[in-house]
Amino acid sequence: MSTTAPVRRRRLGLPRRAFSQVLLTQLAIAASVAVLATGLFLAPLSHQLDDQAMRRALAIAETTAENPQIVDDLLHTAPSVSGPVQRRAEAIRRATGAEYVVVMDTAGTRWSHADPEQIGEPVSTDPSAALTGREVMQIDTGTLGRSARGKVPLYDGDHRIVGAVSVGIAYDSVRARLVDAIPGLLAYAGGALAVGALAAWLVARRVQRQTRDLAFSDIAGLLAEREAMLHGIREGVVALDRGGRVRLLNDEARRLLGIGDEALGRSPDEALGAGRTTDVLAGRVTGTDLLTVRGQRVLVANRMPTDDGGAVATLRDRTELEQLGRELDSTHGLIDALRAQDHEHANRMHTLLGLLELEMYDDAAEFIGEVVGDHRATAEQVTEKIQDPLLAALLVGKATVAAERGVALWISDRTWLPDRLVDPRGLVTVVGNLVDNALDAVAATPHARVEVELRTRGRSAVLRVRDTGPGIPPELRESVFTEGWSTKRPPAHGKRGIGLSLVRRLAERQGGSATAGAAHGGGAEFTVVLPEALEEPAAAPG
């Protein structure tokens, strides 16, 4: 950014960058703290210097009062400019650097003073406290101006008060000490302010890098837009921190994953439990457009790491698309079957026409009976053993598709399913997926055969689908139920690897199981157990 950019921003009324605001704020705080600290230091320093000056004056006064010659001269001489009391007091004053040393009698009359003309005059301040035996420290104003004073009583040999000693330290000298201390104090404060300014600049630079040199108003606007976008888009968004814990969920992610705010701050394993969805969110499965199943939903997940060590995962709902794709596959199969039947029907009609033209009426009638009987037998075989209309219709249609592919679809003699299903559509999904997979598995094998067996045990339903295909190696019999796992080429409408995963999810959701094994005589056998798949039989009327 050019040097004129901030000027242009101010002229245009644009908000300051976060860098400038943070730097100015921190500089103001550092300067305020430095001024406040200096003031807080100077206030007690002034008081301390006053106290030291008063104590020094009191100490000089006590030392003077302890001199027996001064007491003796006070009792046996008269106050005079050249008297012994004046000479001794002045000697003490010059030796200690005090402003004055005043010796007074009990009447308050000065016997000594720095100004000889004041000798013999009464003192300018009240001496009663010292003449009654108390020591006094104070800041007061007298004939020589403002001073720090110390006053003590003067005792004779019998410990009787015969006068007092008052010593003053010029207040200007105390103030001079305070003034002398200010430059050093300001130097320290300036150094602290410089360090604070440097720290403020470093912090502001870090903020500038992290905020991409945006203004706080821009950041607030971006946050508001982000919230609106995250909760408005029809795509799930899950953000994880560098520790792999969930830190953000938008509304669509909550809906697709079936979780709420309790997942925030927890790892995907804790929030979702074990599964492919958890592995994708945690980064243990990598790739783009990864298929996963959550509940009854088919999701497409993508995960992207972020600069702070975390990650953002997006989830798209493909449930309806997968269902449409499967319906499209089934429709294509039915269309192929109908096309084959159309050709077969045309051939039969030509055969019938030929028999009629040859006047072979008995043979024509027998031919029609055989054709109608075959179709009726197939439908009756299914409906006699499977009384649920949806499932029976599915298997009749699958038998037609199987016949077109040259595959024999058999309903086991042991099959029996009453019309008391709790979830017919769920069982249709399970049977349809397993039969489709079996038909695909035997497509390139000779004497292809698929057998469906549906039996009940109490309220439980047990489904077995066997085929004469190449079978499944033992080490892959669990992998085939993994979301996204498939050995077949993906169809045009999407990816494979969802059907068997859905089968197992539907079974486990009902407390059942789905397993893969080897069929007797070769091929694969899938077994699905659905506890409580049937409703309780209606009670017989009494």
Q: How many percent of the chain have pLDDT more than 70?
A: 74
The whole-number average pLDDT for the span 479-494 is 60
Contacts of 435 (CB under 8 A, 6+ apart): 395, 398, 409, 450, 452, 465
Q: For position 459, what pLDDT does the model report?
A: 86
Check residue 216 and give its pLDDT: 58
DSSP letters along 456-523, please?
A: EETTEEEEEEEE-SS---GGGTTGGGSTT--SSPPPTTS--S-HHHHHHHHHHHTT-EEEEEEPTTSS
pLDDT at position 128 over 50: yes
Q: What are phi and psi of 366, to 5 degrees?
A: -65, -40
Do 48 and 151 fall within a single domain?
Answer: yes
Structure confidence at residue 316 (pLDDT): 83
Q: What is the pLDDT of residue 226?
A: 66
Query: At 484, is the pLDDT very low, low, confident or very high (cuts 50, 70, 90)?
Result: low
Four-residue CA torsion sign, 283, 285, 286, 288: negative
**CA 284, CA 270: separation in Å to the nearest integer?**
15
pLDDT of amino acid 1: 40
Residue 318 phi/psi, 5-degree rounding, is -110, 15
**In this predicted model, which residue has the larger pLDDT, 238 or 7?**
238
Domain assignment present for 227 = yes
- What tens digit of pLDDT does each residue of 507-540 get? 877 788 889 888 887 889 999 998 888 887 765 4
Task: Give the number of other Cβ atoms within 10 Å of residue 114's Cβ.
Answer: 17
User: Is a pLDDT exceeding 60 seen at residue 66?
Assistant: yes
| pLDDT-based confidence at residue 153 (cuts at 50, 70, 90) | very high
Strand, coil or helix: 50: helix
Helices 319-357 + 424-441 axis angle, to 10: 70
Q: What are phi and psi for residue 486, nearest 5 degrees?
A: -165, 150
pLDDT attached to residue 9: 43
Question: How many separate helices (H) and strands (E) can be counted in the chain?
Answer: 15, 14
User: In terms of domains, do 167 and 199 share one?
Assistant: yes
Q: What is the pLDDT of residues 186-227, one digit of tens each?
A: 776 777 777 777 777 777 677 666 666 666 566 666 666 666
- Clarify whether residues 305 and 404 are in a common domain: no
Whether 415 and 284 map to the same domain: the answer is no
- pLDDT category at 357 given cuts 50, 70, 90 is confident
Model confidence at 375, pLDDT cuts 50, 70, 90, reads low
**Domain end marker among 317, 346, 362:** 317
192 with 215, same domain: the answer is: yes
With a CB cutoff of 8 Å and minimum separation 6, the contacts of 482 are: 276, 497, 501
pLDDT of residue 151: 92
**pLDDT value at residue 453:** 92
Which structure tokens are listed for 101?
A: 């040393």
When pLDDT is averaged across residues 314-333 and rounded to a whole number, the result is 63
- Does any domain span residue 48? yes
Looking at per-residue confidence, does 247 or 209 come out higher?
Answer: 247
The chain-wide mean pLDDT, for the chain, equals: 77
Higher model confidence: residue 356 or residue 455?
Answer: 455
Give the torsion sign (CA, 89, 91, 94, 96). Answer: negative
Examine residue 361 and state whether it is found in any structural domain, yes or no.
no
Q: What is the pLDDT of residue 437?
A: 87
Contact 421, 427 (CB under 8 A): yes
Confidence at residue 526, expressed as pLDDT on a 0 to 100 scale: 93
Q: Is the pLDDT of residue 392 over 50?
A: yes
**More confident position, 194 or 161:** 161
**CA-based nearest residue to 100, from 82, 83, 123, 130:** 123
305: CATH: 3.30.450.20
Give the amino acid at 444: A
Is residue 294 located within the same domain as residue 168?
no
Domain end, chosen from 285, 317, 349, is at 317
Q: Angle at which helices 319-357 and 389-405 pack, to 10 degrees?
A: 60
Contact at 8 Å (CB) between 104 and 111?
Answer: yes
* Residue closest to 280 by CA, chosen among 318, 243, 240: 240
440 inside domain: yes
What CA–CA distance (Å, rounded) separates 469 from 488? 14
HSE toward the beta carbon, residue 377, CA cutoff 13 A: 7
Residue 462 has pLDDT above 50, yes or no: yes
Range of the domain at 75: 15-232
Q: What is the pLDDT of residues 13-56, one digit of tens each?
A: 444 565 666 667 777 777 777 777 766 666 666 677 777 888 88
Q: Could you tell me if 394 and 288 lie in one domain?
A: no
Pick the most confident of 107-121, 134-148, 493-507.
107-121
391 shares its domain with 309? no
pLDDT, residue 7, reads: 38
| Helix runs in 211-250, H state only | 216-232
Residue 253 belongs to a domain = yes
Give residue 70's Cα distance to chain centre: 84
Find the CATH number of the domain harbouring 453.
3.30.565.10
Residue 374 domain-assigned (yes or no): no
On whether residue 249 sits in a domain, the answer given is: yes
SS3 of residue 336 by DSSP: helix
pLDDT of 174 higher than 90: no
Asked if residue 344 is part of any domain, the answer here is: no
Radius of gyration of the chain (CA): 53
Domain boundary among 289, 317, 345: 317
Q: How far is CA 418 from CA 380, 429, 535, in A?
A: 15, 18, 10
Indicate if 401 and 510 belong to the same structural domain.
Answer: yes
Q: Please determine, for residue 105, whether its predicted confidence score (pLDDT) is greater than 70.
A: yes
Same domain, 288 and 185: no
- How many domains is the chain partitioned into structurally? 3
Question: What is the pLDDT, as a whole number, of residue 529?
Answer: 92
Which stretch of 144-153, 281-290, 362-371 has the lowest confidence by average pLDDT? 362-371
Question: Which residues are CB-neighbours of 56 under 8 A, at least 6 positions away?
Answer: 148, 150, 169
Give the 3-state secondary structure of residue 395: helix
pLDDT class for 355, splitting at 50, 70, 90? confident
| Cα dihedral 248, 251, 257, 260 sign | positive
The pLDDT, as a whole number, for residue 467 is 92
Indicate the pairing of strand 513-518 with strand 460-467.
unpaired
Mean pLDDT of the 382-397 span? 83
pLDDT at 436 over 90: no
Same domain, 295 and 412: no
Q: CA-CA distance, 228 to 139, in Å (whole number)? A: 70
CA 506 to chain centre: 33
CB atoms within 10 A of CB 5: 11
Q: Which residue has the higher pLDDT, 329 or 9?
A: 329
Contact 433, 399 (CB under 8 A): no
pLDDT surpassing 70 at residue 314:
yes
Give the pLDDT of residue 393: 81
- Provide the pLDDT confidence category of residue 320 given band limits of 50, 70 and 90: low
Looking at the predicted structure, is the pLDDT value of residue 297 above 50? yes
Q: What is the pLDDT of residue 230?
A: 67
Shared-domain flag, residues 211 and 176: yes
pLDDT digits (tens, 9 = 90+) for 450-460: 999 999 888 88
